[in-house]
Structures are given as C-alpha cells and as structure tokens.
Amino acid sequence: MKIGIIGCGNISSIYFKNLTSGIWPQLDLIACADLDLERAKKSADAFSRVQVMDVQDLIASSEVELVVNLTIPQAHYPIALQVIHAGKHHYSEKPMALCAKESKHLLVEALKSGVQIGCAPDTFLGAGLQTAIDAIQSGKIGQVVSVTGQMICRGHEGWHPNPEFYYQKGGGPLLDMGPYYLTAMVAMFGKIKNVKAFNRKTFEQRTITSQAKNGTIIPVEIPTHTTSLLEFESGVIGTIVTSFDAHPNPSMPKISVHGTKGALEVPDPNTFGGKVLLIDENKEKKTLNLVNSFDENSRGLGVSDMVNSIEKGVLHQASGELASHILEVMEKILSEDE
C-alpha cells in the first residue's frame, strides 16, 4: 500500500521511522506534505524514497493509496474529507475530528466512497494492553467490576515547541490524552453507554517555557481538568481523571482494573509496552509475560493492521467506528456541566 503523510510536525518522526523501517513490509511510504514546506523537506531528508509534495498534490496523487494525517486536531476533519472524496484510505492521529458530528460524517462519506478510515491511538494493539486484555478475557481476575484511569500532569507547554493547540477547542487533557485511556478501556470492556462528569479550568492563561516561544503567554479556551464516571455496556463501572492542572502521584497506576478474584495494574496506555501486574486474592503481585513483541514505540501498528485488514476484507482494529465512539463519549463528558 503506497502511503503519503500529511503533517510533518512533532509526532511525525516516529511514523517516518516506523513506516520506513521494514517491520511492516506491506507499507510503502512514498510522499509527505505540510503547510510548512520546509518541515516536509526536513522530514523527508533522511528518506530518499519519500517525495515532498504540496498538500493538494498529495491528496490528488494517482500513486498514493492511503493518507496518514498527522496535522493538528483542527485540520483532521477537513483533510480527511478531501482524502476520502479523492478515493483514498485515511488514517489520522487522534482525535478523529473536533466533534462526533464530524467523525460520524466521515464514517458515512467513507462508506459511500468505498474506502476505509482508521485513527490513533493504536497503543491498545501493543504488548502491554494486549497482555492486560488477554488476562481479563481468560478470567485471571474473575468478573471485572471496576476500572480507574488517571492522566494527571501540569500541561505540555514546558516541552512542546507549539503547544497553543492544547488550550484551544480540540485540545485539552481529555481530547489529547483521553483517547489513550478510553480506547484502552473500550478495548478491554466494550462500549460505554453512559457518562457523568465534572470539568474545570484552573488557569485562564499559560506561559510557554519550551524553546523558541519561551515566555509567550497563551489564553486557555477550554476546560483543563475533568473527572468522569463511565458505565460500560458490559456492566463495568469506570472513572477517569484527565488534567493539565495538577501534579501526579507517580506511585498511582495509570489504569487499575478490579475484579471479583483479583486486580490488574495496566501500563500507561500512551505506551505500547510496560509491565502488567496481576494482584491475586492474597495480594501477591506477579508480572505477566507479554503476549506480543510490540513493546517499543510502535506508532503505525494501527496503519499496518488496517492495510492487512483491507487486503483480507475484514474490519481493522484502530477503526473510525471505535474512534468516533470515543469522540462521542468525550463530547458527552465535556458537555456535562455546560
């Protein structure tokens, strides 16, 4: 499958690396584009086979069959729509769009055009989360009653060179990091049917302290702390806290799953590997053997699964349907106290 990347910013380097590494020989990265042509040129520099194109030329290219969209959240939907209408498969970074109305529209348009759409995160296909899913499905902790997830940090303006989008519509801790946690939870327990939530904004402004923009003050347009209750169709009850406002307690697991016969400590869902700890009825802890080999940063694993699935005529796992469900859940959480 011939692939073009649109969006050559911060996250693109791992996609360039993995998509050209040969671990997934069915993927052939041939082109890249960015609004900022210099960024596209810099990204393509190390890869002789990757041709730099104008964004519209890449979308119209007769060679590119699948577009990987790594632009900012605001550009995911408009680019996806153009790509789908050009008859190409589309895989984007998260979130799939800015709202569920847009993501559902993409599903309809993709169906009409006969193309597939996929979306990150694909971390749930990695070794850590797949090991946790295997432990749950094989009954190691009995019937699951509860899951808790927490992503608590003081924001991204200390390290990200262009952090403005994290504090605008489409950003925020829930839309930014929630997809990892919620996708992991849905992969473990199935769809979420009900949410209750409280949201707050602790700071009206943030000061960038990273690199070139050090000292720049940016306004905060959205809630930056959310706490939610989740009811899964399977009966599991969950909680999730996402925050750009507070300091974490590093000794608390990112995700804990509690069952009638034991508990599981699940690794950070923003990683592919990590330790999966099984805590039994006697409170003894055991590290489980990982069930697959994708324990390093394997971004692109979802693209690889999508291409394999297209060839086999089956639905891929990091699907547009899944991402759209997650977006709908997040939208409900954010609208709870409007």
Ligand X SMILES: NC(=O)c1ccc[n+]([C@@H]2O[C@H](COP(=O)([O-])OP(=O)(O)OC[C@H]3O[C@@H](n4cnc5c(N)ncnc54)[C@H](O)[C@@H]3O)[C@@H](O)[C@H]2O)c1
Q: Which residue, among 162, 59, 71, 84, has the nearest Cα to 120 in the 3D structure?
A: 71
Options 70-78, 139-147, 216-224, 228-236: segment touching ligand X (CB under 6 A): 70-78
Element (H, E) at 321: helix 320-335
Q: Which two tokens stand for residue 284?
A: 């003894």
Angle at 46 (CA atoms; ends 41, 51), nearest 5 degrees: 50
Options 66-74, 101-109, 139-147, 198-206: segment touching ligand X (CB under 6 A): 66-74
**What minimum distance in Å lies between the beta carbon of 63 and ligand X?**
19
Options 29-37, 136-144, 238-246, 330-338: segment touching ligand X (CB under 6 A): 29-37
Q: Which two tokens stand for residue 27?
A: 């993927």
Instruction: Find the binding residues for ligand X in span 155-214 (CB under 6 A).
Output: 162, 176
**What minimum distance in Å lies between the beta carbon of 171 and ligand X?**
8
**What minimum distance in Å lies between the beta carbon of 72 and ligand X?**
5
One residue of 34, 122, 157, 245 binding ligand X per CB under 6 A: 34
| Burial zone of 28 (CB within 10 Å; 0-12 exposed, 13-18 middle, 19+ buried) | middle
Contacts for 134 with CB less than 8 Å, ≥ 6 apart: 291
Alpha-carbon distance of 128 to 291, in angstroms, equals 8
Mark 7-26 with x for binding to ligand X (rule: CB under 6 A) and - for no binding: xxxxxx--------------
Instruction: Find the binding residues for ligand X in span 36-65 (CB under 6 A).
Output: 36, 39, 55
Report if residue 105 touches ligand X, rule: CB under 6 A: no
Q: Which residue carries 């000061």 as its tokens?
A: 207
**What minimum distance in Å lies between the beta carbon of 79 and ligand X?**
6
Report if residue 332 touches ligand X, rule: CB under 6 A: no
**What minimum distance in Å lies between the beta carbon of 22 and ligand X?**
23
Instruction: Name the residue number minimizing CB distance to ligand X.
Output: 9
Per-residue exposure over 71-91, b if at least 16 CB sit within 10 Å of its own CB, e if not: bbbebbbebbbbbbebebbbb
Options 2-10, 24-32, 144-152, 236-244: segment touching ligand X (CB under 6 A): 2-10
Number of residues that bind ligand X (CB under 6 A): 21
Please give the order of strands across the beta sheet that includes 255-259: 192-200, 225-232, 237-243, 144-152, 255-259, 263-266, 277-279, 285-287
Closest to ligand X by CB, 35 vs 315, is: 35
* CA torsion, ordered 132, 196, 180, 273, to nearest 10 deg: -30
Q: Which two tokens stand for residue 14?
A: 């791992």
Report if residue 75 touches ligand X, rule: CB under 6 A: yes
Element (H, E) at 18: helix 12-20
Closest to ligand X by CB, 68 vs 266, is: 68
**What minimum distance in Å lies between the beta carbon of 45 and ligand X?**
15
Mark 121-160 with x for binding to ligand X (rule: CB under 6 A) and - for no binding: ----------------------------------------
Binding site for ligand X (CB under 6 A): 6-12, 34-36, 39, 55, 70-73, 75, 93-94, 162, 176
